[in-house]
Amino acid sequence: MTDATQFGAEAPKPKTSILELDKRTRKRNAAETRFRYYGMAAVAVGVIFLVVLLGTIVRNGIPAFTQTYITLNVELPAAKLDKKGNRDPAEIAKVTTFGYNGIISDALVTALKDNGVQSDMKDADLRKMLSSSAAAQIRDAVLADPSIIGTTQSFRLLASSRVDGYLKGRVTRESLARDKNLDAAHLDIVDQLQKAGVVSRSFNWSFIFGADASESRPEQAGIGVSMLGSLFMMLVVLCLSLPIGVAASIYLEEFAPKNRFTDLIEVNISNLAAVPSIVFGILGLAVFIQFVHLPQSAPLVGGLVLTLMTLPTIIISTRAALKAVPPSIRDAALGVGASKMQAVFHHVLPLAMPGILTGTIIGLAQALGETAPLLLIGMIGYIASTPPDGIISGFLSPNSAMPAQIYEWAKRADPAYYERAWGGIIILLIFLMTMNIIAIILRRRFERRW
Amino acid sequence: MYDQPALEKKLDNDTIKIAASGVQVYYGEAHAIKDVNVQIQDKTVTAFIGPSGCGKSTFLRTLNRMNDTIDICRVEGKILLDGEDIYDPRVDPVQLRAKVGMVFQKPNPFPKSIYDNVAYGPRIHGLAKNKADLDEIVEKALRRGAIWNEVKDRLHAPGTGLSGGQQQRLCIARAVATEPEVLLMDEPCSALDPIATSQVEELIDELRTNYSVVIVTHSMQQAARVSQKTAFFHLGNLVEFGDTSQIFTNPKDPRTESYITGRIG
């Protein structure tokens, strides 16, 4: 009442038109327009970064997916490989890879002659065009089937990483000037052999499915074995963190009394989600390896450590999903006489499932790309050169993991490894994208049901 | 036995189904219900009316212990269902809620098919021996919920796809499917349009032949239309309880009179 009398005597408002914008409105509109441009600029910057990032990854990583091979007809003289001529595997095995070098040189010389390539290079130098794994490859073939001794077999041998780099444009004649592994003269030969079809590039399956190789043989290295390591780790993470995480969240959200203690737990779970992953690594080292004496570098230990790291993510997203289920559904279930557990498991959990799945898959994807904790439990630095020979050894025998493998390659000096690191990143990204797509598909599926 | 509807159409209103005495409800420090004594008769519709926040919904929820789900809620006093204290430590609230069903303010069908909505209660209580049995229970419940004719061709369509009024009748059907003895309704029509409201009201009147119905409502007209007994709550007190006709025509308490004539509320 008093307000009305107090302001009642005010002068009548000046007449304004709604067709004209007044000063305040103009200012407000200008602010809104500005804000919209800020937003668009922010999105644009983000998109540019993303495009540049993906572009760089693809440009640098794609060459890793092809590899240069030299196809040679290798004569396998019995005089050198099986001196006694009795085809005894034990005897044949005595010839080391060193003994095969001469054979390879001979095959190269023959190839040059056959294709009309002139060269005055020494045999040993000529062999530098090939990967040092070539001898082992031939030896393995001979040991696997001694009957080929005395015949001439066609072998597709890996070219050395420099020849490979030359075909990919990474290595030039200038860059070889100070390289003691390969000369410009080699490249002339490669050019001619490529024309003749002896040197060729093809898709590199062994990069995807193969094992890691030593520092001097980048052309042989593959990510396959560490992929298996990652797979076994993810199995451990999934089998542990999903049930534990979901059970913990259901208990905390639906059953636990609300008191100081549960509040404390809640705060700590949120804090754990922000703990640097390397802390979990050192915890894993102390508890799982030094105290429980689990094997070092084992995917089991990696999985356990990553489980610890993933749990908070899963618990937080599961609790959010459970909270988002309207309380009326719980009331409805309790109202018809369902017990609390029935209400949760029959009604709340199915409705929360899309959120739980999304959280779990995002947690898993995070764990898949995690590198730091693996550093401390010895999965980084391990040369994953032999694939596990069974499920148990898959969990327990030392292995690497995809991000660890990428880190390992990026660390090595040879530029050919740099290319492999980028290639590894592409494979890792494909995995992550697949997981996210699965998350989206699952979420859609579940949502459609309701 | 309480389930002899056809034979005993004449109502034995004198049986006391729920007797509450000295009920106090606290939410933490707040004293929400103050010393309420009320006797709810069998096969009768009892309406709880009163202004917002007067505690009528709270009191309703104490009758099937739905308040147990609220941590800070504390109930004192005695509430007897057929002479048995429902707050006795030996009572499992789940078993109690099977006997005292509840329909909520907002229609809240499960996001499942119509059939599954109704079949859920009988399933968890093991009321059906086989599929045919369950089908029969579902049909009976949907008929009692006066929604059978509308949904019989699409029993496997989602319950959430129905209109608001249909959803609420589905919820009522779901509540009666477990064969409760008492049906609590917390403002069942507040989210419905007038046509759906009148359908639900008719339904409530029919349900009276089988159950004791307790309904909380904001609408005094609704209370007058559907109930035989009315309780008026104000600020947590039960101000007046009596025959609906008496409350609306000849209230004894001045506060009741003020409320029903529109002076407070």
Chain B closest-CA separation from residue A343 CA (Å)? 10
The DSSP element (H or E) to which B194 belongs, if any, is helix B194-207
Looking at residue A448, its pLDDT comes to 54
Cβ-based burial of B71 (10 A; exposed 0-12, middle 13-18, buried ≥19): exposed
* pLDDT band at B8; cut points 50, 70, 90: very low
A395-441 pLDDT per residue, tens? 988 888 999 999 999 988 888 898 999 999 999 999 999 998 988 88
Judge whether B177 is closer than 8 Å to chain A, CB to CB: yes
Q: What is the overall mean pLDDT for chain A?
A: 88
Residue of B67, B72, B94, B168 to mutate when probing chain A, most A C-beta within 10 A: B94
Which tokens sit at A53?
């990032």
Q: Which domain holds residue A164?
A: 67-202
pLDDT(A388) > 70: yes
- A263 and A348 assigned to the same domain: yes
**CB contacts, 8 Å: A347 with chain B:** 110
Q: Does some domain include residue A62?
A: no
Looking at residue A282, its pLDDT comes to 93
Taking residues B13-28, report their average pLDDT.
86
Q: Does some domain include residue A12?
A: no
* pLDDT band at B6; cut points 50, 70, 90: very low
Region at A87 (left for phi over 0; alpha for psi -120 to 50; beta for the rest): left
Its ipTM equals 0.83
Give residue ranges of A with CB < 8 Å to any B CB: 257-258, 326, 328-339, 342, 346-347, 351, 450
- A231 and A362 assigned to the same domain: yes
Task: Identify the residue whose tokens are 């004594």.
Answer: B37
The DSSP element (H or E) to which B49 belongs, if any, is strand B45-49
Interface contacts (A, B; CB < 8 Å): 67
Nearest to A347 among B101, B110, B160 (CB): B110
Domain boundaries, chain B: 16-260
Judge whether B102 is closer than 8 Å to chain A, CB to CB: yes
Taking residues A338-355, report their average pLDDT.
90
As assigned by CATH, the class of the B16-260 domain is alpha beta
A80-95 pLDDT per residue, tens? 887 777 777 888 888 8
Looking at residue B1, its pLDDT comes to 38
Chain A closest-CA separation from residue B251 CA (Å)? 34
Angle at B77 between CA B75 and CA B82, to 5 degrees: 105
Chain A closest-CA separation from residue B179 CA (Å)? 10
pLDDT(B7) > 50: no
- A233 and A365 assigned to the same domain: yes
Question: CATH code at A328?
Answer: 1.10.3720.10
Q: Does some domain include residue A88?
A: yes
For residues A407, A413, A415, A419, the Cα torsion angle rounded to the nearest 10 degrees is: -10
pLDDT(B2) > 50: no
Q: Does some domain include residue A211?
A: no
Looking at residue A54, its pLDDT comes to 94
pLDDT(B195) > 90: no
pLDDT > 70 fraction of chain A, expressed in percent and rounded? 97
Counting Cα atoms < 13 Å in the Cβ hemisphere of A209 gives 4
> How many Å apart are CA A123 and CA A118, to the nearest integer?
13
Looking at residue A97, its pLDDT comes to 82
Do B177 and A336 count as a contact with CB atoms less than 8 A apart?
yes
B164-177 pLDDT per residue, tens? 888 988 999 999 89
Of residues B86 and A10, more confidently modeled: B86
Which tokens sit at B167?
């959803």
Of residues A192 and A32, more confidently modeled: A32
Residue of A334, A336, A448 to mutate when probing chain B, most B C-beta within 10 A: A336
pLDDT > 70 fraction of chain B, expressed in percent and rounded? 94
Q: What is the b/e burial string over B25-55, where b = at least 16 CB atoms within 10 angstroms of the residue's CB?
A: beeeeeebbeebebebbbbbbbbbbbeeebb
Q: Does some domain include residue A29?
A: no
Residue B86 phi/psi, 5-degree rounding, is -75, -15
Q: How far apart are the first and last CA of chain B?
A: 40
> How many Å apart are CA A64 and CA A423, to the nearest integer?
5
Do A347 and B178 count as a contact with CB atoms less than 8 A apart?
no
User: What is the domain count for chain A?
Assistant: 2
Neighbouring residues of B87: CB distance < 8 A, sequence distance ≥ 6? B65, B75, B78, B79
A177-235 pLDDT per residue, tens? 887 788 888 888 888 888 888 888 889 888 999 888 888 888 888 999 999 999 999 99
**Eight-class DSSP state of A15:** P
pLDDT(B4) > 90: no
pLDDT(B218) > 90: no
- A128 and A188 assigned to the same domain: yes
Q: Are A336 and B176 in contact (CB under 8 A)?
A: no
A35-82 pLDDT per residue, tens? 999 999 999 999 999 999 999 999 999 989 999 999 988 888 888 887
Q: Does some domain include residue A44?
A: no
